[in-house]
């Protein structure tokens, strides 16, 4: 949906969830401000059994002049705009409305329950980011509205556990673009822990467990504030015998989990996704991540087994079921066969046409941020599924040919490269060219039977993740070049060489 579609209504009410958080206030306030600037007088509310606000929310309301009211009754509006929540969910008091629209970033449990007007981005870190994207589509400039920028920034800050679980490129783009009031922001940042949380934090530390074999820790926090999980996680990771930790809390009919890692061999986002597989959802980045696990899914699969025991068993299975491969080290080639890459259409981008050699740039993609140093002998390859990876110019020229056409991205997010020093940025869509494989690339490959982490010759600090069914491949003419190819990509782009 587009925000402009709301202009067709007169009596508009914006509602966030009961017991609101910073993102709920930020996103509701953002819609309120947009409507006001377009001549519409809306009302911003929240309901529930308890209208009490946490200290940081009360300060946010006062400092940013957010006109939100607590109500228990509501006259039927023409349009009820749900922000950071969904109509009919348990954490939202249900009011009658002629029409409803939903703007949210939480998981949709029942697609059929969504109204016709909705904008839900489940993989975004905050609802503020969803609305910021809608602002951009409308051409709405908030660069001079410092209070609104501060609200959006703080909403993202809190919903990603103080940016510790910031991973989606859209979230990072908003984070880069906003210029908040630092004075107000510092006040808000220092009101996030209530005195009542201290006992819960202390109890979590005293009840933690450590698995000495796999060097992970686990503990529970009795809290309804998801940010407390991040505080406990960060502290646990400082214990010298721990490489990774998981902290969890039961919040109504869900469990929230927070994961941390301090070793390059284990990504926190992958770890937490493994814990949530089949019973929830999760995301994050290398060192810090979080997830949601649904109580009903846990009960259906595990019955009355204690949640801590479930997590511990899943953690042990994860560590025991992971292989690690370092490019440049001798590889056991048993089970590998020779394959030829088919002449498929792909893309290539030459960052040398934009940045000078030696420039340090950050490449932002859906798969994560990649740090690169511009090298005349290096191009960016865009695979058949939009995956991006560096390739030597000589290797590219040997195995691919440019078609003379522009490369067309089909993904929701267009990757961009940004100069760390100057901030200069360019979308790859402006320089990417279409190419076709020549069918000359040969690899030795085998299908994976277990989770595998491969550190490539391009990056010895961030591994490529391979799941069972994917393929591990080694360039025939360069045995140090080891990498992972997703199962669907390998099947469609490689053929086995006949003996």
Work out the pLDDT band at 299, boundaries 50, 70, 90: very high
Enumerate the domain spans of the chain. 3-189, 195-320, 322-342+439-499, 348-392+405-429
pLDDT band for position 260 (cuts 50, 70, 90): very high
pTM score over 0.75: no
pLDDT (0 to 100) of residue 142:
96
- Highest-scoring range by mean pLDDT, 140-149, 401-410, 420-429: 140-149
Say how many C-beta atoms besides its own lie within 10 A of residue 37's C-beta: 12
pLDDT tier for residue 73 given thresholds of 50, 70 and 90: very high
- What six digits make up the tokens of 3? 């925000």
* Nearest alpha-carbon partner for 82 in 110, 50, 111, 44: 44
Q: Is the pLDDT of residue 314 over 90?
A: yes
State the Cα–Cα distance between residues 28 and 15, nearest whole angstrom.
7
Long-range contacts of 88-93 (CB under 8 A, 24+ apart): 88/113, 89/17, 90/252, 90/253, 91/17, 91/18, 91/19, 91/252, 92/15, 92/17, 92/18, 92/47, 93/18, 93/46, 93/47, 93/48
Question: Which of helix, strand or coil describes residue 375?
Answer: coil
- Name the pLDDT band for 292 (thresholds 50, 70, 90): confident
CA dihedral over 293, 296, 300, 303, signed as positive or negative:
positive
Lowest mean pLDDT among 161-175, 268-282, 373-387: 161-175
Q: Could you tell me how far CA 408 lies from the centroid of its own chain? A: 24
What DSSP state is assigned to residue 422?
T
Please name the residue ranges forming H helices in 246-306. 268-276, 295-302
Hey, what CATH topology would domain 195-320 get?
A: Diaminopimelate Epimerase; Chain A, domain 1 (3.10.310)
> In the prediction, which pLDDT does 4 show?
96
Residue 247: what pLDDT?
Answer: 96
Candidate from 46-50, 195-199, 430-434 with smallest mean pLDDT = 195-199
Three-class DSSP category at 254: strand
Specify the DSSP class assigned to residue 83.
E
Residue 318 has what pLDDT? 95
Q: H-type helices in 237-328, by residue range?
A: 268-276, 295-302, 307-320
Region 176-198: what's the mean pLDDT?
Answer: 88
Quote the CA–CA distance of 124 and 43 in Å, as a whole number: 26
Asked if pLDDT for residue 481 goes beyond 70, the answer is yes
The whole-number pLDDT of residue 499 equals 65
- Structure tokens belonging to residue 53: 């606000």
Residue written as token pair 């079921």: 321
Average pLDDT over residues 78-95: 92
Mean pLDDT value across the chain: 91
Give 159's pLDDT tier (boundaries 50, 70, 90).
confident
Over residues 216-240, the pLDDT tens digits come to 999 999 988 877 888 899 899 999 8
| CATH tag, 3-189 | 3.90.1640.10
Q: How far apart are CA 25 and CA 21, in angstroms?
A: 6
Q: What is the mean pLDDT of residues 26-31?
A: 98
Distance, CA of 23 to CA of 156 (rounded, Å): 6
In the predicted model, is pLDDT for residue 307 greater than 80? yes
State the DSSP string of 194-237. Answer: -HHHHHHHHHHHHT-EEETTTTEEEEE---S-HHHHHHHHHHHT
Composition of the chain by helix, strand, coil, percent to 5: 30, 30, 40
**pLDDT score at 411:** 74
């Amino acid at each position: 949906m587009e925000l402009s579609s709301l202009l067709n209504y007169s009596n508009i009410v914006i509602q966030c969830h009961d017991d609101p958080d910073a993102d709920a206030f930020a996103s509701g306030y953002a819609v309120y401000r947009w409507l006001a600037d377009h001549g519409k007088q809306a009302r911003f509310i929240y309901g529930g059994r308890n209208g009490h606000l946490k200290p940081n929310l009360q300060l946010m309301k006062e400092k940013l002049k957010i006109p939100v009211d607590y109500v228990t009754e509501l006259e039927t509006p023409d349009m009820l705009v749900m922000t950071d929540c969904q109509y009919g969910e348990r954490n939202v008091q249900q009011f009658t409305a002629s029409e409803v629209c939903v703007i949210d970033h939480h998981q949709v449990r029942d697609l059929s329950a969504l109204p016709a007007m909705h904008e839900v981005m489940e993989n975004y870190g905050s609802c503020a980011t969803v609305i910021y994207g809608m602002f951009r589509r409308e051409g709405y400039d908030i660069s001079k509205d410092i209070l609104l920028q501060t609200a959006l920034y703080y909403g993202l800050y809190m919903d990603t556990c103080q940016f510790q679980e910031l991973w989606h490129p859209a979230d990072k783009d908003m984070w880069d673009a906003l210029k908040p009031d630092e004075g107000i922001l510092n006040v808000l940042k220092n009101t996030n822990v209530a005195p009542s949380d201290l006992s819960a934090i202390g109890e979590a530390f005293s009840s933690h467990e450590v698995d000495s074999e796999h060097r992970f820790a686990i503990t529970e926090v009795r809290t309804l504030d998801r940010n407390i999980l991040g505080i406990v996680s960060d502290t646990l990771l400082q214990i010298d015998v721990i490489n990774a930790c998981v902290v969890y809390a039961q919040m109504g009919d869900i469990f929230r989990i927070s994961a941390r890692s301090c070793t390059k061999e284990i990504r926190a986002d992958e770890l937490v996704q493994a814990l949530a597989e089949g019973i929830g959802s999760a995301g994050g980045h290398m060192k810090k991540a979080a997830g949601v696990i649904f109580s009903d899914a846990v009960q259906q699969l595990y019955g009355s087994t204690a949640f801590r025991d479930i997590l511990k068993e899943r953690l042990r299975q994860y560590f025991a079921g992971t292989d690690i491969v370092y490019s440049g080290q001798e590889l056991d080639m048993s089970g590998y066969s020779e394959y030829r890459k088919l002449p498929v259409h792909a893309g290539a981008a030459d960052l040398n046409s934009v940045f000078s050699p030696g420039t340090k740039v950050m490449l932002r993609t859906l798969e994560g941020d990649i740090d690169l140093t511009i090298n005349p002998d290096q191009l960016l390859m865009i695979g058949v599924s939009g995956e991006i990876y560096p390739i030597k110019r000589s290797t590219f020229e040997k195995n691919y040919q440019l078609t003379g056409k522009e490369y067309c991205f089909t993904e929701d997010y267009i990757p961009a490269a940004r100069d760390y020093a100057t901030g200069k940025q360019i979308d790859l869509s402006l320089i990417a060219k279409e190419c076709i494989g020549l069918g000359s690339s040969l690899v030795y490959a085998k299908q994976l039977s277990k989770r595998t982490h491969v550190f490539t010759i391009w990056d010895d600090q961030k591994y490529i993740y391979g799941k069972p069914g994917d393929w591990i491949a080694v360039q025939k003419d360069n045995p140090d070049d080891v990498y992972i190819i997703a199962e669907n990509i390998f099947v469609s782009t490689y053929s086995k060489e006949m003996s």
